[in-house]
A and B are shown apart, each in its own frame.
Chain A
Amino acid sequence: MATFRYILRDTWRLLSRHWGLSVLTLLTSVAVFFLVGASVLFVLNTRYLVATVEGDLMVQAYVRNTPEALESVARKASTYDSVSSVRIVTSDEALERLRARLGKQAEAVTLLDENPLPPSVEVRVKRAAFASVIARELISMPEVEDVVYAGAIAERLERISSFVSRLSLVILAVSMASASLVLFNTIRISVYARKEEIGTMLLVGATRNFVVFPYVLQGVILGTAGALLSALLLWFSYGAALDALERSLPFVSLITDTRVILRLGVVLVSAGVTVGWICSWLAASRFIRLASRSL
């Protein structure tokens, strides 16, 4: 236990003696982890938006007007894995919808004796990318006369979604790599600044672990504190961004579930601990192994 206290004290000494370096490293890791968090939020929101729009995306098949034909198209459509729901819309229903949408103006339609709207089969797909495939399948069925779907929108959504995912993977990789590099370098500098001392400590009987631990803790503390601060910063700035967006673009709905943001914070801090630990361990232990070699 005493050993643990000595190690903590030595860690504090390392942090405070090179305080300029410590502050610099802390700021860098705040910036980098903020970037990581922000890009994750960006991806999550894009996914969320795409999913919202995708949920409304459907393929409408107009079918020869017999109950059997409608039934059979609906049955065949529902066998596809990429289809989330299938629904038969009768002429009456179609008229109801039109009324609901147009209000009074719909009366012009009802003036006609006969309902001019054809029945259809509405197919919802799970992902935007499936829409064109399903549309092609439907049109090839003999009962189907025509297919209508928002093909261009579907394709664009799909492209945006996959582009954002790829872009943010790159941002994520780059920023994690820079966080690692910065922490690794800081620890290496502080190890090198004390190489004589480390040699002496080993010579008078300190174990490698006793010597290495303050450096590792130094890295863990800097990494963790950086991630923690960036999570706080992210929390407040995301809140502010949501407020601003709600005022200027009220129809865009973003993730407001605080649990999602909290979970992201937890992930960031764990990443800070892990990166801090691994990098400082690599930076310090290799050197200390070298320093403990006999001539």
Chain B
Amino acid sequence: MEIRFAGVTKQFSPDIVALQDLFLTIAKGEFVYLVGPTGSGKTTLLRLVTREVLPTKGQVTVGDINIRKIASYDLAYLRRDIGVVFQDFRLLPHLTVYENVAFVQEAIGVPPTDVQKRTNDVLDRLGLWRRRFLYPEQISGGEQQRVAIGRAIANSPSILLADEPTGNLDIHTAEEIMQLLLSINASGTTVMVATHNQYIVDAYRQRVIELRKGRMVRDDKKGRYEVDGDL
């Protein structure tokens, strides 16, 4: 699914403009880094895609769906096709690691045996198998982050949005996560990663979109974390 921002402005209050006049198209199957300082609007941009946030001005379209006009029932269906790794994980605290990863599939009504197979697969891939019966508060921050990623990819979504998915990870684990995101991308999933991890962005060169104070200031095809020489 193509993601398109057409003249999007998001204003939270008269003096907080999180995004301004954004024109951006992300093709199906692309891999995009979102970079920029804290408060530049990266999270807001991702939240517009899932309609957690509505644009103040302009249109956001996902596939052929205008996010503003979607009915609540259809929204649930659209969201199932978008995996999200939240910046603060948002794991379900009363569910185990296994149940958290299984949740979206259950909400969709996938039969238990299929859920089991798929969930075990994902847990294995993320090295969480031995943690499966623990609750989020019983595991480390890095593990929680991996559970969040597991939940996002468990349903094989068309779009994967990851908000600083390597934020709490050491460089080794961060690279593993990157490999994972790239392999998911290789299977056709559109991936958008908001990140502060310069090492990763420079090591795995992809399209880079840079935001500053809610405005897009750069869109490089095979970009680096920072442009050589100041803007």
A, B co-complexed: yes
Interface residue B84 (Cβ < 8 Å from any Cβ of A): yes
Interface residue A259 (Cβ < 8 Å from any Cβ of B): no
Given the known interface contacts A197-B93, A210-B107, A295-B12, the answer about A204 and B84 at a Cβ–Cβ threshold of 8 Å is yes
Interface residue B187 (Cβ < 8 Å from any Cβ of A): no
Query: With a CB–CB cut-off of 8 A, which chain A residues contact B94?
Result: 13, 17, 194, 197
Across the interface, do B107 and A204 meet the contact criterion of CB distance under 8 Å? yes
The 15 listed contacts between A and B (C-beta, < 8 Å) are: A2-B111, A6-B109, A196-B90, A197-B92, A200-B86, A200-B92, A202-B76, A203-B50, A203-B52, A205-B76, A205-B155, A206-B107, A207-B73, A207-B107, A295-B12
Shortest distance from the beta carbon of B214 to any chain A beta carbon, whole Å: 15
Query: With a CB–CB cut-off of 8 A, which chain A residues contact B108?
Result: 205
A-B pairs, top 10 by smallest CB distance, nearest first, are: A205-B80, A205-B79, A206-B107, A3-B109, A207-B76, A294-B54, A200-B90, A6-B106, A295-B53, A2-B111
Q: How many A-B residue pairs have CB under 8 A?
A: 69
Q: How extensive is the interface on chain A, given as a class?
A: 20 to 34
Interface residue A292 (Cβ < 8 Å from any Cβ of B): yes
Query: With a CB–CB cut-off of 8 A, which chain A residues contact B77?
Result: 205
Residue of B nearest to A196 (CB): B90
Residues of A within 8 A of B (CB): 2-3, 5-6, 13, 17, 194, 196-197, 200-208, 210, 292, 294-295
Q: How extensive is the interface on chain B, given as a class?
A: 20 to 34
Shortest distance from the beta carbon of B48 to any chain A beta carbon, whole Å: 9
Interface residue B151 (Cβ < 8 Å from any Cβ of A): yes
Residue of A nearest to B91 (CB): A200
Query: With a CB–CB cut-off of 8 A, which chain B residues contact A196?
Result: 90
Interface residue B103 (Cβ < 8 Å from any Cβ of A): yes
Within residues 118 to 156 of chain B, which ones have a CB less than 8 A from any CB in chain A? 151, 155
Residue of A nearest to B10 (CB): A295
CA distance A157 to B74 in the complex (A): 64
Shortest distance from the beta carbon of A11 to any chain B beta carbon, whole Å: 13
Given the known interface contacts A197-B92, A203-B79, A204-B107, the answer about A295 and B50 at a Cβ–Cβ threshold of 8 Å is no
Shortest distance from the beta carbon of B4 to any chain A beta carbon, whole Å: 18
Q: Is the interface of B mostly helix, strand, loop or mixed?
A: mixed
The one of A6, A197, A206, A295 that contacts B52, using a Cβ cutoff of 8 Å: A295
Interface residue B104 (Cβ < 8 Å from any Cβ of A): yes
Interface residue B207 (Cβ < 8 Å from any Cβ of A): no
Across the interface, do A208 and B72 meet the contact criterion of CB distance under 8 Å? yes
Residues of B within 8 A of A (CB): 12, 47, 50-54, 72-73, 76-82, 84, 86, 90, 92-94, 103-104, 106-112, 151, 155
Shortest distance from the beta carbon of B148 to any chain A beta carbon, whole Å: 10
Shortest distance from the beta carbon of A5 to any chain B beta carbon, whole Å: 7
The one of B12, B72, B103 that contacts A204, using a Cβ cutoff of 8 Å: B103
Given the known interface contacts A2-B109, A2-B111, A2-B112, the answer about A201 and B50 at a Cβ–Cβ threshold of 8 Å is no
CA distance A5 to B102 in the complex (A): 14
Given the known interface contacts A208-B72, A294-B51, the answer about A203 and B90 at a Cβ–Cβ threshold of 8 Å is yes
Across the interface, do A204 and B79 meet the contact criterion of CB distance under 8 Å? yes
Given the known interface contacts A197-B93, A208-B76, the answer about A203 and B107 at a Cβ–Cβ threshold of 8 Å is no
Across the interface, do B72 and A203 meet the contact criterion of CB distance under 8 Å? no
CA distance A3 to B72 in the complex (A): 19
Across the interface, do B92 and A201 meet the contact criterion of CB distance under 8 Å? yes
Query: With a CB–CB cut-off of 8 A, which chain A residues contact B104?
Result: 204-206
Most buried by A among B53, B79, B86, B107: B107
CA distance A202 to B86 in the complex (A): 14
CA distance A200 to B50 in the complex (A): 12
CA distance A295 to B73 in the complex (A): 18
Query: With a CB–CB cut-off of 8 A, which chain B residues contact A5?
Result: 112
Across the interface, do A205 and B51 meet the contact criterion of CB distance under 8 Å? no
Query: With a CB–CB cut-off of 8 A, which chain B residues contact A204?
Result: 79-80, 84, 103-104, 107, 151
CA distance A201 to B95 in the complex (A): 12
Shortest distance from the beta carbon of B32 to any chain A beta carbon, whole Å: 21
